[in-house]
Amino acid sequence: MYLIEKLYEPLTIHEALELLDADKSALIIAGGTDLLVRMRHNRASSVKLVSIRNIEDLKKINILDDGAIEIGSFVTFTQLAESGLILDSIPMLKGAALSMGGPQIRNAATVGGNICNGATSADGAPSLFALDAKLELVSKGNKRIQDIQEFYLGPSKVDLKKGEILSKIIIPKIHSDKWAGSYTKFSVRKAMDISMLGCAVVCVLNEDNAIKDLRIALGTAGPTPFRCCEAERVAIGKKLTKDVLEEIGQKALLSARPRSSWRASKEYRECLIIELVMRTLQEAYEKAGGDAAKC
Ligand SMILES: Cc1cc2nc3c(=O)[nH]c(=O)nc-3n(C[C@H](O)[C@H](O)[C@H](O)COP(=O)(O)OP(=O)(O)OC[C@H]3O[C@@H](n4cnc5c(N)ncnc54)[C@H](O)[C@@H]3O)c2cc1C
């Protein structure tokens, strides 16, 4: 049973911030697909909820003048998967959205909730790390922008202050015609399963198909999602041969801290990291216009 003492349903961000400021014990609820499960297991102490589901400003996906894409925190995974703007500008996010849960969960679950929940297995996180996403966090009388990489502090722990709402996720434009991204989720079941490993790659190529910029992000390979910086560095200026691909896969492992769980052993995850990084990179490289047949 859910013992909900009070449910606030504000219509604006301003109203929600006032409520959170007035009642410090109230929790934000978006789709509820994580929070209600936690409450059911009595792991959420407060039963006063501020629902953000009626705030229209949080449900929009926009393109800004500088080409950046803004995703409202209450955009659901279904909305993300069905957005023409996302398909045209960042198709890898459609793939990530569809890898998540099943249709019912995607209809309710929001991108903001996925991030604020702080899980290393969040399917939205690796792509947003690889896309260098910025988060807009608002509180009464204050607004700050934070890199997603600095937002994750530890397992289920994010840098969200009391009274703060994640309002938008901003994805800066990549100024190149030769770039692409991919997300691969590895899980035992095809749907309704948490990832055993998630890997997102953004690959930007030079005119001669050498790697100009590479971003590799992993989920469920450590306490939080993270970027594989050493692997990214060794790739710069190189074309993707079989040897380069293997070198990048091996280097990605240096950034990872996988552990054994009932889903998979640490050793199994290590093999998976190398393999998934290689596969996802090859796919992104090919989509960006590189000749993956030479790998
Ligand atoms: C059956 C099932 C299958 C699932 N499968 C997957 C899966 O395959 N992949 C996956 O990644 N996840 C999965 N999940 C987990 C969950 O659905 C996602 O993490 C989802 O994105 C959470 O979003 P929500 O809107 O439901 O968040 P909520 O449950 O409403 O909130 C989650 C947390 O974030 C906080 N919060 C929410 N929005 C904001 C905001 N805008 N500002 C500040 N704080 C906020 C809440 O206070 C709460 O602490 C699954 C869950 C279930 C029940």
Task: Report pLDDT digits (tens) over 143-177.
Answer: 999 999 999 999 999 999 999 999 999 999 999 99
- What percentage of the chain exceeds 70 in pLDDT? 96
How would you class 262 by CB atoms within 10 Å of its CB: exposed for 0-12, middle for 13-18, buried for 19 or more? exposed
For residue 180, pLDDT over 90 is answered with yes
Over the stretch 34-50, which tens digit does the pLDDT of each residue have? 999 988 887 656 589 99
With a 6 A CB cut-off, is 126 part of the ligand 1 pocket?
no
d(CA 281, CA 199): 9
Q: Which of 24, 28, 151, 158 to mutate to test the pocket of ligand 1 (most atoms within 8 A of CB)?
A: 28
Kindly state the average pLDDT of the residues 216-227.
97
pLDDT at 1: 67
Only one residue has tokens 């910086």, namely: 229
Residue 254 in tokens: 């240096």
CB within 8 Å of 54: residues ≥ 6 apart: 9, 10, 11
What pLDDT, in 10s, does the model give residues 53-108?
Answer: 999 999 999 999 999 999 999 999 999 999 999 999 999 999 999 999 999 999 99
Residue 254 phi, psi dihedral angles, 5° rounding: -65, -30
pTM of the model: 0.96
**CA of 205 relative to ligand 1 center, distance in Å:** 34
Q: How far apart are CA 72 and CA 85, in angstroms?
A: 13
Burial class (CB in 10 A: 0-12, 13-18, 19+), 244: middle
**Reduced to 3 states, what is the DSSP secondary structure of residue 101?**
coil
**Cβ 73 under 6 angstroms from ligand 1:** yes
